[in-house]
Amino acid sequence: MLRIGITSRALFDLDSSHSIFENEGLEAYKDHQILKENIPLKPGQAFLLVKKLLNLNKQFKKEKLVEVILLSRNTADTGLRVFNSIEHHDLDIKKAAFCGGNSPHVYAKSFGAHLFLSTEFQDCKSSIENGIASARIIPSKRSFLETDDLRVAFDGDSVIFSEESQKIFDERGLKAFDKNEKDLANKPLSGGSFKSFLDELYKVQQSFPKTECPIRIALVTARSAPSHERVIKTLREWNIRVDESLFLGGMDKTSFLKNFGADIFFDDQLENCKSASLEVPTGQVINFNTRNYA
């Protein structure tokens, strides 16, 4: 089963409530949430992604393929509004951890989460240090729900694949990068922090008949020939098939992601994330060395 841990602020729009906490303090925040606990919260940045993930269970019917766990800084008292909102929006979320002001990432591993989604950089940073793939949800005004199918797009280096080749590009430039990838074309790349999530998502995809599959996976990378060969052979070695592979040679990814109709795009570069978020929901992949998070 694919398990996703998500914070309440990523799932629902809690911006106004958070402003009360920051400006008036914890007691005012608590009073506000209790007063409003029967007023459903509006969808947040990752709401439609979660809805589509949970809809996979309704489409498959035989058994649960996906489980979403709520991981929240709220107390159970103030978190009652969140659970009421989950019920109002008909989201099949049964498990939760309310951490009373502490970072909820610590329970992601205990719940067996393959991915942790949050709006807070530090929560994501702590999650990756605890061995759980993590992405910070970037604010976006665009989301897709026109179709029932789920469309997930991934960057390659430092996301699906390790940072080893990216470091060569950063330190020695494109020519050295291309030579390295061409020389090592037959040597599979090491997995990045999102390899395990991709693997689990692919397993869910394979549960459906190919002609009726409601999941499409895309690789959207700045790589181009001759560095494409190593990527293709690596995925082949991993026994993972992606539906679409876009080798853009450094072009901006935004319009391609819009045309793909991504429900979420995962990239480690903040500049790419900000650009993509203008058109599609985007998650900044947090790695051990991530510093660019403004």
Cβ atoms < 10 Å from Cβ of 27 = 9
User: Which pLDDT belongs to residue 24?
Assistant: 77
Q: Tell me: the pLDDT tens digits for 190-212?
A: 999 999 999 999 999 999 998 88
pLDDT tens-digit map of 205-240: 999 998 889 999 999 999 998 999 999 999 999 999
List the one residue out of 228, 284, 289 whose CA is nearest residue 46.
284
CA 129 → CA 103, 142, 154, distances in Å? 13, 30, 21
* pLDDT higher than 80, residue 114: yes
Q: What confidence score (pLDDT) does residue 99 get?
A: 79
150-285: CATH architecture:
3-Layer(aba) Sandwich (3.40)
pLDDT digits (tens, 9 = 90+) for 115-152: 999 998 988 988 898 889 999 999 887 655 567 799 99
- pLDDT tier at 270, thresholds 50, 70, 90: very high
Q: Is the preceding omega at residue 139 within 30 degrees of 0, hence cis?
A: no
18 or 167, greater pLDDT = 167
List residues bridging with 121 in a β-sheet: none
Which residues are known catalytic residues? 155
Q: In what order do the strands lie in the sheet with 264-267?
A: 95-98, 66-72, 2-6, 115-118, 134-138, 282-285, 264-267, 150-154, 215-221, 244-247
Nearest alpha carbon to residue 49 among 212, 280, 287: 280
Sequence ranges of the domains in the chain: 2-137, 150-285
Record the tokens describing residue 11, joined without a space. 């799932």
Q: In the prediction, which pLDDT does 290 show? A: 66
Lowest model confidence (mean pLDDT) among 85-94, 153-162, 279-288: 279-288
Q: What is the pLDDT of residue 260?
A: 95
Q: How confident is the model at residue 27 (pLDDT cuts 50, 70, 90)?
A: confident
- Averaged pLDDT, 164-188: 92
Class of the CATH-defined domain 2-137: alpha beta
Per CATH, 2-137 and 150-285 having the same topology is answered: yes
Q: Which residues are CB-contacts of 202 (< 8 A; sequence separation ≥ 6)?
A: 217, 240, 241
Average pLDDT, the chain: 90
Instruction: Please calculate the CA angle 92-52-78 and round it to the nearest 5 degrees.
Output: 45
Mean pLDDT of 267-294: 85
